[in-house]
Structure 1
Amino acid sequence: MSNGWRDKLAGARMRVDQEFNEQVIDSQFSNQEWGLIMTAVELDIDRPETPSEATLTANTENLEQIMPELENLPQGMARPGGGGDSGGVIDSLKSVLGFDSSDANGSGVDADELAAATELVEAYAAELQAHLEDQGRWTEVCSAAAAEQ
């Protein structure tokens, strides 16, 4: 089954993925973690009927559900800078001292990590839109999205 306007993004996404890789490397997430994050994100276009006002947005409402899974990725794919210490002594000490940034309901989702993932996803969406505009494809994608509404 076709995803309509989203299918038109395939080539652009591959190109932007390559260009955006530097930002992923500079982030707290490994490439494998970034891949998992992007599986929880759906791209949408706000106001596609008016391309000059339209915005490519990242629906991140499912991010919180997959964030705990980042800790289950193989340790060989740990975050740059040794950030893959999940469940270690430092995490235990932070928790005991009250520096645990997990949410209050105990779901194990680190609020700072969720915010960082959301920010990175939003930057990706902005870069993808800029790429489409630079390539002269933004109006075509918006028209296809508007036709599906």
Structure 2
Amino acid sequence: MKVFGDLDELVSAQGSELGPTEWMEITQERVNVFADATDDHQWIHVDAAKAADGPFGGTIAHGLLTLALVPHFSHQLYSVKGISLAVNYGYDKVRFITPVKVGARIRARAVLSSVKQLEGAAQATMTVTVEIEGVDKPAAVVEQIIRYIA
């Protein structure tokens, strides 16, 4: 994990590569809990028998579950000291490139794409790539925006 000592250090680190994180297995239980939380029970996510004959040969994680795990991975990639608050400011671009099959392991790496100095704050854009173990193409590429308040 990269630790930035303060906002000035974060600003000067623009272009830095971070990661990778530890691998995380995507279990059917996690997918089912996400389905319950979001009321998205599409069969490709929760019906293993039907999904076995479907286009992916089994159940897959929701794309939004993959996106929802980005903050978890971010906490493994870096931290910023000397701030009072960090908030998820949003996402500029989200692309779900390769489905994540249940039982697959994913991890993330990131590039600190840009950092803007603001009055008493900084706003960073991280380009986060979620990788699938043993798969050439990533599961997702996400431009995450985080605002750090001093």
Q: Structure 2 length normalisation: TM-score?
A: 0.29
**Greater Rg over alpha carbons, structure:** 1
Q: Which structure's residues are more often strand, by fraction?
A: 2
Q: Structure 1 length normalisation: TM-score?
A: 0.29
Q: Which structure's residues are more often helix, by fraction?
A: 1
